[in-house]
Amino acid sequence: MPHLTNLPRPPTDRLLQPHPRVHVVAILALLAATAPSPGASAARRLRGGSVFRCARELWREVEPLRVAPRLAQLDSVVGAAMRYRDYEKEVEGNMIWAMSLSLSSKLAQFQLSHGISGSVGEIGTYYGKYFFSIATAALPEEPKVDIDLFEAQHLNVDRSGGFVDSGRFRRHAAALGVANLTLLSQDSSTVTINTFVQMGTPAFRLFSVDGAHTFEATLRDLQLAACAIKRGGVIVLDDWLNMDWTGVVDASFQFLHNAPSIVPFLFLYLTTREFHPLYLAWAQQLPCLHCSSADRGMHSSRYELAGTPVCMDVRSGCGGWCG
């Protein structure tokens, strides 16, 4: 694998230029940012100012996880996606996109081979369709943290997700051999960095956000994830640009433009700014993605988001499985 750590830093002084598919989204985000709406007021309360900064960062407070995976373990991480693909139909919920499965294992292998290890977790797992793709691709030593209401659906503010039998979830985990698993059966609004500190959970190398889909909940969950990941950790946001859930769309744009230390490199995968060149170079070498205006003869702004280069499209004919 080529050495990527000395790649040039991306330009950060360009304005966001949405491509045609997101013009409506950009308008919604602009309206939400400027109108005196309850959502905007809530955002100001949650941010405590125009620029979001973590009051506490998990990587500063809990001893980091240090593992040196053997080559065989890295190979097994890649194979985990194929094994889970065979089991995935047993897990309740909508079928997961094949590319998401392949990216989970490829990203895990890439992170671990570059010394980026730590916890993996998700807010809003339902029965674990996506969670198990990241959990099975993690090393046994890496903690897996699942935050969901499970049976307590009376706390579900927007009825996204639904009732989950936590016992059945655990049976899926056992069948897949997921070790070092912690279930937090609670509203994510009650989870803080101190929750992880008290558990002794190391900072996250990957944190998926798929909880309540309101503006306030999504923004809050993104902020929690930003403070819980380590340097070089990755946040994955579900239902980005899904117009059935405009709260997610709105919150994502608010977050991207008010958390300058977190930037996107893939739709919608985010990392800490100093690691952006490393992850972008990784995404660019994947055979299934369009990452450059040269790919399709479009203006360079087609592949920029929040002032940074980003891979935005899937190549035709890749079959949904990335490499």
256 lies in a domain?
Answer: yes
- pLDDT attached to residue 95: 72
259 Cβ contact list (under 8 Å, min separation 6): 51, 52, 222, 223, 226
Rounded to 10 deg, the angle between the 23-34 and 38-47 helix axes is 80
- The enclosing domain of 224 has a CATH number of 3.40.50.150
Q: Is 147 exposed, middle or buried (0-12, 13-18, 19+ CB in 10 A)?
A: buried
10 and 273 Cβ atoms separated by less than 8 Å: no
69 lies in a domain?
Answer: no
4 lies in a domain?
Answer: no
Task: Give the residues across from 171 on adjacent strands.
Answer: none
Residue for token pair 């013009």: 23
- pLDDT attached to residue 155: 67
Domain that holds residue 84: 80-314
12 lies in a domain?
Answer: no
32 lies in a domain?
Answer: no
Residue type at position 288? C
- pLDDT attached to residue 323: 63
- pLDDT attached to residue 322: 78
Supply angle C-alpha 126, 127, 128, rounded to 5.
90
113 lies in a domain?
Answer: yes
- pLDDT attached to residue 2: 40
| pLDDT tens digit at each of 323 positions of the chain | 444 434 444 333 333 333 434 343 343 343 344 344 444 444 444 444 479 999 999 999 999 999 989 888 888 888 887 789 889 999 988 777 778 888 999 999 999 999 999 999 999 998 999 999 999 999 999 999 999 988 776 666 666 666 778 999 999 999 999 999 999 999 999 999 999 999 999 999 999 999 989 999 999 999 999 999 999 999 999 888 777 889 999 999 999 999 999 999 998 999 999 999 999 999 999 988 888 877 667 787 888 999 999 998 787 767 567 76
14 lies in a domain?
Answer: no
pTM of the complete model: 0.82
> What is the number of structural domains in the chain?
1
107 lies in a domain?
Answer: yes
From CA 218, how far away is CA 224, in angstroms rounded?
10
Which of 178, 148, 26 minimizes the C-alpha distance to 87?
178
From CA 185, how far away is CA 70, in angstroms rounded?
34
- pLDDT attached to residue 150: 87
